[in-house]
């Protein structure tokens, strides 16, 4: 469904460039739920936005690499072609539904506009389909929600509307960019269950962007861990969580409340994500890593994902533990 291959992306700035993606390789197979996890500033959302070409055309440069949807190179498609692809073949659920939905339009009109753009349904048929979609989101009174404005709804209800909108034309790939961040824990679970239920019903593949390893463990079949614009570890979710190979992945898992002793402080990764305009030489994580050694400051540990199926990690210090890198 999605094949991002060795993508190097930069944002031009005065007298230089910010290297936001550095050789990112990510694959999503049909019907699969794949997670991308990492701290803020790791490149997760940029990866999602580039997958649908939502970054303004003149604000970035692709140094090398490709983004293919079902074999078609998205980077070479015209904007007119992308308008046919977005919503029909690929759809996105954004982090904050209040800013993603138009506050001046009723919910129903926003859904039916998408349906009528990509299908031959009449206005009445599009209305019936939109109400059925809202009902599938376990909304008790879908007609009332259809006629409501976004500001009249709760955060959880708005996110259900976003899911209905995303599935309105039954896309083969759905990208969810931190869809539960603005919700409380109980509503988070409800929204994620709805998302998975609908995806399984339609056969839609999902790429889930999140910073929460607990969400990944319960929702995703495979996971990519990103740091400073690079994938540092990837594999089947259970393997990555049970046996994390990269120190950064271990740090993310160590910060989960369920992994802390009662009464003890939560673990945290020391330091901050490096400035992407001035990445350190060698491994980008080395200044925060408890295992850093001599090789870490000299050569970046690259991870050829396309040639190494299975659980892999880009780390010199753990390379010998389980045939990593």
Q: Give me 250's structure tokens.
A: 């271990």
**Beta carbons of 233 and 226 less than 8 angstroms apart:** no
Strand order, beta sheet including 2-13? 16-28, 2-13, 61-69, 72-73
317 part of a folded domain: no
**Beta carbons of 95 and 49 less than 8 angstroms apart:** no
Task: Work out how many domains the chain is built from and give that number.
Answer: 1
pLDDT in tens, the chain (325 residues): 999 999 999 999 887 888 999 999 999 999 999 999 998 889 999 999 999 999 988 899 999 999 999 888 999 988 889 988 888 899 998 877 778 889 999 999 999 999 999 988 999 999 999 999 999 888 889 999 999 999 999 888 888 898 889 888 888 999 998 887 767 777 778 888 888 888 888 889 999 998 888 889 889 999 999 999 999 999 999 989 988 889 999 989 888 777 777 878 878 888 888 888 888 888 889 888 888 888 888 777 766 433 445 788 888 887 554 333 3
266 part of a folded domain: yes
179 part of a folded domain: yes
Q: Residue 222: helix, strand or coil by DSSP?
A: strand
62 part of a folded domain: yes
Distance CA 285, CA 271 (A): 10
Which residue(s) pair with 225 in the sheet? 37, 233
Supply the range of the domain harboring residue 28.
2-95+173-277
CATH number at residue 63: 3.40.50.300
268 part of a folded domain: yes
100 part of a folded domain: no
87 part of a folded domain: yes
285 part of a folded domain: no
Distance CA 111, CA 130 (A): 6
């Amino acid at each position: 469904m999605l094949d991002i291959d060795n993508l190097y992306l930069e944002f031009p700035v005065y007298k230089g460039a910010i290297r936001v993606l550095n050789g990112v390789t990510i694959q999503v197979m049909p019907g699969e739920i794949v997670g991308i996890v990492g701290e803020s500033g790791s490149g997760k959302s940029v990866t999602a936005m580039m997958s649908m070409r939502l970054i303004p055309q003149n604000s970035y440069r692709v140094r090398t690499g490709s983004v293919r949807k079902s074999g078609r190179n998205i980077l070479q498609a015209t904007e007119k072609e992308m308008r046919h692809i977005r919503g029909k073949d690929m759809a996105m659920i954004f982090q904050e539904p209040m800013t993603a939905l138009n506050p001046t339009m009723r919910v129903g009109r926003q859904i039916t506009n998408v349906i009528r753009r990509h299908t031959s349904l009449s206005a009445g048929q599009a209305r019936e389909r939109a109400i059925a979609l809202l009902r599938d989101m376990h909304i008790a009174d879908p007609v009332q929600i259809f006629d409501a404005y976004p500001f009249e709804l709760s955060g959880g209800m708005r996110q259900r509307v976003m899911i209905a909108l995303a599935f309105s034309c039954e896309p083969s790939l759905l990208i969810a960019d931190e869809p539960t961040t603005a919700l409380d824990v109980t509503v988070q679970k409800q929204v994620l269950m709805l998302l998975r239920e609908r995806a399984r019903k339609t056969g839609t593949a999902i790429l889930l962007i999140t910073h929460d390893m607990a969400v990944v463990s319960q929702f995703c079949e495979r996971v990519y861990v990103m740091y400073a614009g690079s994938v540092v570890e990837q594999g089947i979710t259970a393997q990555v969580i049970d046996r994390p190979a990269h120190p950064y992945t271990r740090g993310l898992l160590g910060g989960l409340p369920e992994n802390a002793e009662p009464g003890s402080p939560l673990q945290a990764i020391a330091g901050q994500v490096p400035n992407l305009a001035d990445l350190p030489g060698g491994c980008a994580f080395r200044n925060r890593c408890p295992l850093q050694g001599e090789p870490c400051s000299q050569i970046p540990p690259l991870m050829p994902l396309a040639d190494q199926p299975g659980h892999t990690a880009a780390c010199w210090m753990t390379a010998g533990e389980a045939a990593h890198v």
